[in-house]
Structure 1
Amino acid sequence: MRIVVALGGNALARRGEPMTADRLRANVRASCGSLADLAREQELVITHGNGPQVGLLALQNLAYRDVAAYPLDILGAETQGMIGYVIQQELFNALNGERQVAAILTTTEVDEADPAFEHPTKLIGPQYSAQDAAEAAAEYRWTIARDGSAFRRVVPSPNPLRVMQAPLIRSLLENGQLVVCVGGGGVPVKTDSKGRQAGVQAVVDKDLASAALAADLEADLLIMLTDAAYVSENWGTPAQRDILTASPKAIAELPFEEGSMKPKIDAAVRFAEAGGRALIGPLDRLDDLLARRIGTEIRPDVPEGIIYL
């Protein structure tokens, strides 16, 4: 079976933890331990987020004022190398060297006319108090949005059109390799009329990019791992209902929070409409998710529309 697994932010940096290299490695090691059995038996592609890390690199850039700060596309490439290296190493170790793991830097084509550039929604970097957020916004000309009880920087997140290295990834899978790619959604690029690429100042959503890649690879399954047990309608209210299974059409009609669960739903809908099957559920219960004892499944053949828990 060909499977694309998208690791959510909790697989890399848990909320409230310091974003140190040691914590990154410890979290990735635990995640790779959960994925090892799947990786032994299946054609597996692992993608991952980078929101906290790319925001941290942006802040560290600003501390050195003698040269201009590196742009977001280069920072995105840095995080792909940093996080991809750790996932590659820890997955190889978890498998006791039984399979080779290739981490590759990928680019994702976007449309520079995408309206997302006028409406930033992607949360990156650390959390701030209201006062610190206001000061950072004024000093660095950032756009700030609420993240729970705190505030974070937001940047444009355009729709991914395609992962440019999809043919290479397919070739690696067909030759028995495990692949780590599409870190942070891939470095966003635009393509001109002559086919030349150039970086774009944005951060692509990794779930949407993973769905685009999964469709191009004709994957059997897209798994988006997070810290939620289920996708829930009316989450956090007395009317909350957990969703067990849904069709792409039915779940697309429900409202979800922008920058949080909505990109995962949009990604699941995109992949299911292409004929695939998507699962959304907790990383620490991957076996139960695959056995359908927990989590939400989105697939084309659900005549009821939505089946609630």
Structure 2
Amino acid sequence: MRVLLALGGNAMTNADGRARPEDQIAAAQVAMAAVAELLSEDVEVVITHGNGPQVGNLLVKNELAATVVPPVPLDWCGAQTQATLGFVLMNTLEAELVRRGILRRTATVVTRALVDRDDPGFTRPTKPIGRFLPAEEAQLLVEHGETWEDRGEKGWRRVVASPEPLEIVDAPAIQALVEAGFVVVANGGGGIPVVRDADGNLGGVEAVIDKDLGAALLARTVEVDVLVIATDVPHAVLHFGTPEASDIGTVSVSQLRAYAAEGHFASGSMGPKVEAVCRFVERGGSRAIITDLANLSTAVRGDGGTVVVPD
């Protein structure tokens, strides 16, 4: 069995959201212990991850240094965090595998995802990123070409496009490494968004791809059997936050779509995860799972989490 495990960016921070290096390493150790458990059961694992908190840290550095050096473009932030998080995940996974007496090689692929330069998201950026700033500080970054919006009492916040991922550009390298037996970390943060010009050349763009939609595309591209979206709850929930709340166990993709249409899943949290697992199953995946790391192994074996199956 081949599994794609998609870790949220907050899975790489501590419980209160701090993202100091030691916090990220400690969180990675927890996540990679769960991966090592799967590997010990002869499950092939490909890993992808979010990078929101880590990109947020880089954006703060951009803001603080804007009067001294030009801000680093957002696609560079994505590339930097892919490499850094891949480095941390490889180190922690290899240490856990050694502890268990398992010999597996690891690799990280800094991964580009092709988007359409005419994607509607570029016309009116709406994805908020980073922290709120006073108007005068935001104005300096506007002068560097960024788009910021007045969000009232909280201040100004940067907004960027969130285009649909169309193709994993570096899929052949990922696939070759997987077939050679590597545990591969790839397509972090949904992939570094790139567009193709009239001559066929690729260039990065100021955008953020939804990490869960990027995970669904990667899962199909590398032909995994199961997509697992790892989050901080063991199941997706109906009527979340109300006395009628109930966990969703095994569910058909059409029924999960119906729940989504009824408004059960928030657009900024569970909504994209539900969309990702539905896309994977609708386009040929055998099943997809939403669960937490504590239940990862049992869920992959078919005994836990929200399990989405074909109709």
Q: TM-score, normalised by structure 1?
A: 0.86
Give the CA deviation at 1:196.
0.9
* Distance in 2 separating the partners of 1:145 and 1:105: 34
Q: Is the 8 Å Cα contact of residues 9 and 226 (structure 1) preserved in structure 2? A: no
Within 1, Cα distance between the matches of 2:209 and 2:187? 10
Task: Give the equivalent residue in structure 1 for 2:148.
Answer: 142
Aligned AA for 2:251? Answer: A
Percent of matched pairs sharing the same residue: 41
**Separation (CA, whole Å) in 2 of partners of 1:214 and 1:145:** 36
Q: Is 1:299 aligned to residue 309 of structure 2?
A: yes
Shift of 1:213: 1.1
TM-fit CA distance, 1:239: 3.6
Aligned partners of 1:73, 1:165: CA distance in 2, in Å? Answer: 15
Using a 3 Å threshold, how does the CA distance of structure 1 residues 145 and 43 change in structure 2: closer, same or farther?
Answer: farther
Correspondence for 1:60? 61
1:200 to 198, 202, 205: 205
State the SS of the aligned residue for 1:63: helix
Higher alpha-carbon deviation: 11-20 or 151-160: 151-160
Change in Cα spacing, 1:280 to 1:145, as seen in structure 2 (3 Å) is farther
Q: Compared with structure 1, are the counterparts of its residues 101 and 161 closer, same or farther at alpha carbon in structure 2 (3 Å cutoff)?
A: same
Q: Take 2:104 and 2:7, find their aligned partners in 1: how far apart are those partners?
A: 20
Contact between 1:39 and 1:178, CA under 8 Å: does it hold in 2?
no
Residue 284 of structure 1 corresponds to which residue in structure 2? Answer: 294
Consecutive unaligned residues in structure 1, runs of 5 or more: 302-309
State the distance in 2 between where 1:293 and 1:214 align.
21
What is the CA distance between 1:113 and its match in structure 2?
1.9
**Quick one: which amino acid aligns to residue 80 of structure 2?**
E
For residues 40-73 of structure 1, the C-alpha deviation after alignment (integer angstroms, 9 at most, x for no partner) is: 4222110000001101101102212222101100
- Provide runs of 4+ in structure 1 moved above 4 Å: 118-123, 132-141, 143-146, 151-154
Structure 1 distance, partners of 2:216, 2:6, is: 9
In structure 1, give the amino acid aligned to 2:242.
Answer: T
Are 2:51 and 1:25 equivalent residues in the alignment?
Answer: no
Matched, 1:188 2:193: yes
Does the 8 A contact of 2:237 with 2:245 survive in 1? yes
Aligned residue identity for 1:178: V
- Where structure 2 has 5 or more consecutive residues not aligned to the other structure, the ranges are 142-146
* Separation (CA, whole Å) in 2 of partners of 1:9 and 1:222: 17
Letter in 1 for 2:298: D
Q: Which 10-residue stretch deviates more, 13-22 or 172-181?
A: 13-22
Question: For 1:243 and 1:190, how far apart are their aligned partners in 2?
Answer: 38
1:103 aligns with 2:104: no
Say what the alpha-carbon RMSD is for the aligned residues: 2.6
Shift of 1:88: 1.0
Q: Deviations over 1:169-228 (max 9, x none)?
A: 111111111100111111000112332101011111121111101111221000010001
- Within 5 Å, which residues of 2 pair with 1:254-265? 254=260, 255=263, 256-265=265-274
**1:123 touches 1:154 (CA, 8 Å); kept in 2?**
yes
Aligned counterparts, 1:1-309, within 5 A? 1-40=1-40, 41-64=42-65, 65-96=67-98, 98-118=103-123, 120=125, 122=127, 124-125=129-130, 140=141, 142-143=148-149, 154-253=159-258, 254=260, 255=263, 256-276=265-285, 277-301=287-311
Distance, in Å, in 2 between the alignment partners of 1:293 and 1:244 is 9
Name the CA shift for 1:134/1:281 in 2 (closer, same or farther; >3 Å): farther
- How far off is 1:244 after superposition? 1.1
Q: Which residue identity does 2:275 align to in structure 1?
A: D
The Cα of 1:30 is off from its aligned counterpart by 1.2
Kept after mapping to 2: 8 A contact 1:111/1:190 = yes
The 1:112/1:55 distance shift into structure 2, 3 A limit, reads same
**SS of 2:247's equivalent?**
strand
Q: In the alignment, is the contact (CA less than 8 A) between 1:224 and 1:280 conserved in 2?
A: yes
Check 1:161–1:59 CA distance in 2 against 1; reply closer, same or farther (3 A cut): same
The offset of 1:144, in angstroms, is 7.5
Number of positions where the alignment pairs a residue of Structure 1 with one of Structure 2: 295
Aligned partner of 1:304 in structure 2 is: none
Distance 2:151 2:236 in 1: 23
Contact 1:189 1:197 in 2 (8 A): yes
Paired with 1:77 and 1:46, the residues of 2 have a C-alpha distance of 16
